[in-house]
Structure 1
Amino acid sequence: MAGPVLEMRSIIKTFPGVKALSDVSLTVRTGEVHAICGENGAGKSTLMKVLSGVHPHGSYEGEILFEGELCRFKHIGASEKRGIVIIHQELALVPYLSIAENIFLGNEHAKRGVINWDRTLKHSAALLRRVGLDEHPQTRVADIGVGKQQLVEIAKALAKEVKLLILDEPTAALNDEDSSKLLDLIEELKGQGITSIIISHKLNEIARIADTVTILRDGRSVETLDVKAPETTEERIIRGMVGRDLDHRFPERSPHRAETGAPPALEIRDWTVHHPIDQQRKVVDGVSLNVRRGEIVGIAGLMGAGRTELAMSVFGRSYGRYGGGAVLKDGAEIRTRTVPEAIGHGIAYVTEDRKHYGLNLIDTINRNISLSALSKVARLGIVDTQEERTVSEGFRRSMNIKAPTVFEPVGKLSGGNQQKVVLSKWIFAGPDVLILDEPTRGIDVGAKYEIYTVIDRLAAEGRAVLFISSELPELLGMCDRIYTMAAGRLTGEVQGAEATQEVLMRHMTKDTVPQNDRNKG
């Protein structure tokens, strides 16, 4: 068995009011893929930032040994010189520079301040071949997808002669195909002698790729397991992460609790949306669906099916160009031409991109929660700060938002706690209809269960919930009915009791080309 390439001993890291890491130890063997698991807020990313010098030596207690030598990294450049490279969940690429410029940014092939572009392009091309990316080095990063951008980040790491590659949630924003390609690449790099640490909530990916997994809980290292050992099951890892057995991944609920006889809380009829740039292209094409009070209705579809485009366009026409159709609330047609109009009619939309569209990351929990309905905490146009604090404190407790106070900046929270703030914000607005777009993306199983419980409670209170998710088990576990979409059109509707992953996938991959179009040419 190979010896350790990395040892982190008794690491303690404290932020004002919060002990993020408490006596954490980690040992990684040379040439292995080592996974780190834990709930949101367990300290995974903080530990890797300590290792990579983002949190410099002197700001934490404990020791780091790399290749047998004591290391005291004062900044990220110092760790990179030793061959330790971290790829953060938020990719650090400049979109309007080329792939080649991004790969060698800060690490240029230059002499006396003059860049050797011929060498840069040739070296970039070789690195792109190594990571399996068929793009010209002069292509702008803005012109390639997220999956390819992730490969550019790995090429950038290889340019720095990486020995230990750290990947923080590398597949969180990728579809299944891109995720599989990335995992294949990590395995190839392992064959080339590169050690990897991967932080992931996706236990199936850990089972596929990792040799060893270390579990963190509440800022402490709980245990390290051999992934290939028969006793290292998903249930075993989950128990280590949450400190208890999760016998059920989803809350127990009575299906089909929707009101009968009354018109649907939300009905969408023949809804059509054109692409914002290519206005000849329909991204949503004649979609009709409905959701009743007390019902959770899912929308399943592959990438590009039009699920998010449908949700955003219904919510104040936030995406694309309106091409026709109607929105009805409790049987009466309503106008949702703007976001304030949609909110005014009791419709809320929890976006799939909480960091860009769902939250003000530099503001507090307190202010983020109240922003959707300031009139509820204001008198004569002036915000009652005491009432605002009372409301946000109530949500902090009821939603189990892990933060010392409601005046903590949202940007400092873990992904799961940020998502709880987004949900709190819209629950405070008091909607009758809640559209949830990937509400548990990038969140660990423990936090997922808490959010599922909140969603279930909202339905039990008589809210209508439209639930968009790329995770079919999630839809099967939560929804009363599930619509499927492909290429902007509805392709099926399945009752929850009859739904299986195979049935949904069959509908999601249906040929949706109209008969008239098939006959052309």
Structure 2
Amino acid sequence: MTGPRAGGAPEPHDGPGAHDGPGADGAPAGAGGRPLLEMRGITKTFPGVKALSDVRLTVRRGEIHAVCGENGAGKSTLMKVLSGVHPHGSYEGEILFDGEPVAFRDIRASEQRGIVIIHQELALVPYLSIAENIFLGNEQTRRGVIDWNGTQRSAARLLARVGLREKPATPVADLGVGKQQLVEIAKALSKEVRLLILDEPTAALNDEDSRALLGLIGELRETGIACILISHKLNEVRRIADTVTILRDGRTIETLPVRTAPDAEPEVSEDRIIRGMVGRDLDHRFPDRTAYEGEDAGTVALRVTGWTVRHPVDHQRTVVDDVSLTVRRGEIVGVAGLMGAGRTELAMSVFGRSYGQYVAGAVEVDGRPADTRTVPAAVAAGIAYVTEDRKRYGLNLIDTVHRNVSLASLPHLARHGIVDEHEERRVAERYRSSMNIKTPTVFEEVGRLSGGNQQKVVLSKWIHAGPEVLILDEPTRGIDVGAKYEIYTVVDRLAAQGKAVLFISSELPELLGMCDRIYTMAAGRLTGEVSRAEATQEVLMRQMTMDGSRGSS
């Protein structure tokens, strides 16, 4: 038995029809019965902004229901209303769960009814064990004292259910992101989940971990657990979802059936979903390239030779091993690799040696040796790095748009050591317009912007610094297709101006659509280099899975 449900709430098996299995006709479980969840006329207003307007959502038992929309469409706000983060009384409309009106005052109240949300930023304590994390806030007790033996046994059963072989006593910090996601799901199962909400669950996962997680979600469907899946990866939506609801500008646009049975082929195309999300057809996922025609076109702007870096803690472990590469002016060069291949470690170590222990290697910019021993030195040498983790390393979330835009170029905006605030504001306004940053004012706190607009602020910051070489690490992670297209347009414009772009991405279609050449990495080494004409997903995947010791350099 797992621990007692918080607050003594009734077990989820109480009541008619709970946890129905798949229907006899092969339709999603409970699809023909009473809805498990109904959200009617949900309207949520923040000061000066209507985030949700008359939104409707219906989810049935045993259904995987995807919610799609551009950043800022209202997806996260809707889930915060459902889970009690935005408590009853702070929004208009009604929520029915299992046919009964509910009024959640906080997250604990929604969890008592079996609604559990797993956010994109996982809520695990890294220095506690797996078992301690699973039952954190829902501790197994006996006579008022934590029953550690019972906790370990219950955790082991839950880990087996989600397919995780680690011991319950293993610290969460020792797990990769994919396994941490499974711990989160085990934690949800410990709370007798009936409706599981997953917010971008595969955004930080490699292909193998993504397939495993989606497979587990499918298995949960067979037990009658309903799931709301928020994802920008439309191929995954088509692969796993039964139904998709599309939000745009805080409104419900439409709800579409994806498939008639769990094993049936999807009936909705990605283009059809995109049309609902952005309100128009995207004839091309990637903008047409404009070639750079300067006198120095084709000359090498960035040359990295013999770059070798060891792990920052385990100095016996080499994470970047004798890597050599070039990027020419006006060229977009991709770097592909599975998680752990060393792509980010390469980028961060080249940019001011901000990761790991430098061992060997040299960097040249425009044919001259570049001092990259510190971040300021790398910036002075003409190199900029757009991190994959914009919230932790790319932005000051509690500061304004205009302050973030100027962060990397304050010396250019200063007079006699004092920042010219009027010029700082004018620069930010210029980028707000040219980058189409959707914000009511440049004095808006960056943390309040959508992911796509935050990414545009990061790009603006580095573009204004005037680099010759831009290293972009997962520049479109966690943003929608419309915002992706805008980011692609910016990157193409930079290449057309003669900038050299090193483009790291986990999405192979993105690399194939954007890059002139693509390097592949495995185990810290380069395993190949492919031209745009020769590159396919199959070729890249084959080189990404090679033994790094056999690759080319």
- TM value normalised by structure 1: 0.96
Alignment-mate amino acid for residue 179 of structure 1: S
Match in the other structure for 1:34: 65
Q: How far does the alpha carbon of each residue in 1:475-512 deviate from its partner, in whole angstroms, 9 at most, with x for none?
A: 11111111122222222222212221122222222333
Q: 1:348 and 1:75 mapped to 2: Cα distance?
A: 42
Q: 2:485 and 2:178 mapped to 1: Cα distance?
A: 28
Match in the other structure for 2:80: 49
The reply to whether residue 300 of structure 1 matches residue 336 of structure 2 is yes
Q: 1:170 aligns with which of 201, 204, 213?
A: 201
2:291–2:330: 8 Å Cα contact kept in structure 1? Answer: no
Match in the other structure for 1:362: 398
Match in the other structure for 1:85: 116
Q: 2:315 aligns with which of 279, 283, 294?
A: 279
Alignment-mate amino acid for residue 96 of structure 1: Y
Q: 1:136 and 1:238 mapped to 2: Cα distance?
A: 42
Match of 1:139, SS state, is coil
Match of 1:417, SS state, is helix
Match in the other structure for 1:22: 53
> What is the alpha-carbon root mean square deviation over aligned residues?
1.6
The reply to whether residue 312 of structure 1 matches residue 348 of structure 2 is yes
1:147–1:178: 8 Å Cα contact kept in structure 2? Answer: yes
The reply to whether residue 253 of structure 1 matches residue 303 of structure 2 is no
Match in the other structure for 1:8: 39
The reply to whether residue 106 of structure 1 matches residue 120 of structure 2 is no
Match of 2:385, SS state, is strand
Stretches of structure 2 that go unaligned for 5 or more consecutive residues are 1-31, 261-265
Q: Percent identity?
A: 76
Q: How far does the alpha carbon of each residue in 1:446-482 deviate from its partner, in whole angstroms, 9 at most, with x for none?
A: 1100000000001111111111111111111111111
Match of 1:221, SS state, is strand
Q: 2:422 and 2:200 mapped to 1: Cα distance?
A: 38
How far residue 231 of structure 1 moved from its aligned partner, in angstroms, is 5.2
Match in the other structure for 1:241: 277
Q: How far does the alpha carbon of each residue in 1:248-298 deviate from its partner, in whole angstroms, 9 at most, with x for none?
A: 000011568686677411111111111222222221121111111111111
Match of 2:363, SS state, is strand
How far residue 514 of structure 1 moved from its aligned partner, in angstroms, is 5.6
Q: 2:258 and 2:194 mapped to 1: Cα distance?
A: 22
1:9–1:63: 8 Å Cα contact kept in structure 2? Answer: yes
Q: 2:511 and 2:466 mapped to 1: Cα distance?
A: 24
Match of 1:289, SS state, is strand
Q: 1:469 aligns with which of 499, 502, 505?
A: 505
The reply to whether residue 129 of structure 1 matches residue 129 of structure 2 is no
Alignment-mate amino acid for residue 439 of structure 1: P
How far residue 431 of structure 1 moved from its aligned partner, in angstroms, is 0.8
1:275–1:320: 8 Å Cα contact kept in structure 2? Answer: yes
Question: How many positions carry a matched residue from both structures?
Answer: 515
Match in the other structure for 2:418: 382
Q: How far does the alpha carbon of each residue in 1:17-70 deviate from its partner, in whole angstroms, 9 at most, with x for none?
A: 221111111111121110000001100010000000000011111111111111
Any residues of structure 2 matched to 1:440-455 within 5 Å, and which?
Answer: 440-455=476-491
- TM value normalised by structure 2: 0.91
Q: 1:97 aligns with which of 124, 128, 141?
A: 128
1:294–1:463: 8 Å Cα contact kept in structure 2? Answer: yes
How far residue 404 of structure 1 moved from its aligned partner, in angstroms, is 1.5
How far residue 377 of structure 1 moved from its aligned partner, in angstroms, is 2.0
- Larger deviation, residues 82-91 vs 506-515: 506-515
Q: 1:255 and 1:192 mapped to 2: Cα distance?
A: 54
Match in the other structure for 2:13: none
How far residue 2 of structure 1 moved from its aligned partner, in angstroms, is 2.5
2:312–2:356: 8 Å Cα contact kept in structure 1? Answer: yes
Match in the other structure for 1:509: 545
